[in-house]
């Protein structure tokens, strides 16, 4: 496949408009220059420097260990690829507990090269979301299973099966829309609830383990490529066994010298 890059810079408004056009959004994560460049050459319109960084690159047990300094370092590396794609960065754990911290840390991620930011939660962080948007920074919501809450939750589980959770997810999605978010990631949301929210809200929903009826899908790229053979996830179908192939090539080279 020939490598070519679009000259048209994708904004958060352009991502939002994809829903109105009925264009599905294919989003992926990247944490460095080469992966950002590759995804951009393929025409992925939204690239997330996710705090999944902690598990898939830095070897932490979960995302709660990721710091602002680590996020900034990886956002800078991804931004050096100057993607046409919208480059979104995750706000790490405890970086948006107050309105002042949220705005300051969102600005730091923008200074590192992010063009939009994402944080986990709905009504409980809505003042932070409003303040970030008022500061001129496009905001992507994240509802459902919130990995930064994995310790309180006691694991990763599907959200929205219980009626109270279902109603809370709908109210959180409405609140994020009213605050001005341009999109919402729905992680491990029961597929009928993800479908209902996707039909209800005017902004795109981007699902991960939330069924096929979201306006887009996002995956952690190393999961898609089979780079982490030590973990297996129900919602990801590996499209490549990159780890196996890398091991084989390294073995072959080792035996040549
Ligand atoms: O950190 C991340 O990669 C994410 C995706 C799972 C959506 O938030």
Ligand 1 center from residue 52 Cα (angstroms): 6
Sign (positive or negative) of CA dihedral 113, 220, 128, 137? positive
Ligand 1 neighbours (beta carbon < 6 A): 29, 48, 50-52, 90, 185, 187, 208, 218, 220
Cα distance between residue 189 and residue 198, in whole Å? 11
Residue nearest to atom 4 of ligand 1 (CA): 50
Question: What confidence category does residue 2 fall into, taking pLDDT thresholds of 50, 70 and 90?
Answer: low
pLDDT of residue 93: 98
Residue nearest to atom 3 of ligand 1 (CA): 50
Ligand 1 center from residue 251 Cα (angstroms): 32
3-state secondary structure 18-32: HHHCCCCEEEEECCC
* Residue linked to tokens 């096929």: 212
Residue in 208, 209, 222, 233 to alter for ligand 1 test, most ligand atoms within 8 A of Cβ: 208
Angle, nearest 10°, between helix axes 33-42 and 68-79?
A: 50
Cα 193 to chain centroid distance, Å, stands at 20
Atom number of ligand 1 nearest to Cα 56: 3
Ligand 1 center from residue 90 Cα (angstroms): 8
Cα distance between residue 207 and residue 184, in whole Å? 8
pLDDT of residue 61: 95
Whether the predicted pLDDT of 6 surpasses 90 = no
- Contacts of residue 17, defined as CB under 8 A and 6 or more positions apart, other chains included, come to none
pLDDT of residue 155: 86
Ligand 1 center from residue 221 Cα (angstroms): 10
Cα distance between residue 29 and residue 180, in whole Å? 23
Mean pLDDT, the chain, as a whole number? Answer: 96
Cα distance between residue 166 and residue 210, in whole Å? 13
Let me know: does 243 contact 226? Beta carbons within 8 Å.
yes
Q: What digits encode the pLDDT tens for the residues 34-90?
A: 999 999 999 999 999 999 999 999 999 999 999 999 999 999 999 999 999 999 999
Atom number of ligand 1 nearest to Cα 120: 8
Percent of the chain with pLDDT over 70: 99
Cα distance between residue 13 and residue 51, in whole Å? 23
Has 163 been annotated as catalytic?
Answer: no
């Amino acid at each position: 496949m020939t490598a070519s890059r679009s000259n048209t810079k994708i904004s958060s408004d352009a991502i939002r408009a994809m829903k109105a056009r009925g264009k599905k959004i294919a989003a992926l994560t990247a944490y460095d220059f080469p992966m950002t460049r590759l995804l951009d050459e393929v025409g992925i319109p939204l690239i997330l420097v996710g705090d999944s960084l902690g598990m898939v690159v830095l070897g932490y047990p979960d995302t709660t260990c990721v710091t602002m300094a680590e996020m900034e370092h990886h956002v800078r590396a991804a931004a050096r690829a100057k993607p046409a794609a919208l480059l979104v960065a995750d706000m790490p754990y405890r970086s948006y507990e107050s309105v002042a911290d949220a705005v300051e840390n969102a600005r730091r991620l923008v200074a590192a090269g992010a063009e939009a930011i994402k944080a986990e939660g709905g009504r409980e962080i809505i003042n932070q979301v409003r303040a970030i948007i008022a500061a001129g920074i496009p905001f992507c919501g994240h509802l459902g299973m919130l990995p930064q809450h994995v310790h309180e939750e006691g694991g990763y589980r599907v959200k929205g099966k219980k009626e109270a959770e279902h109603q809370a997810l709908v109210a959180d999605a409405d609140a994020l829309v009213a605050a001005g978010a341009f999109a919402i990631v729905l992680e491990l949301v029961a597929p009928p609830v993800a479908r209902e929210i996707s039909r209800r809200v005017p902004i795109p929903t981007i699902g991960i383990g939330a069924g096929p009826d979201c306006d887009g899908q996002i995956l952690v790229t190393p999961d898609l490529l089979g780079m982490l053979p030590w973990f297996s996830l129900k919602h990801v179908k590996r499209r490549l066994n990159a780890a196996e192939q890398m091991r084989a090539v390294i073995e072959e080279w080792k035996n040549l010298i």
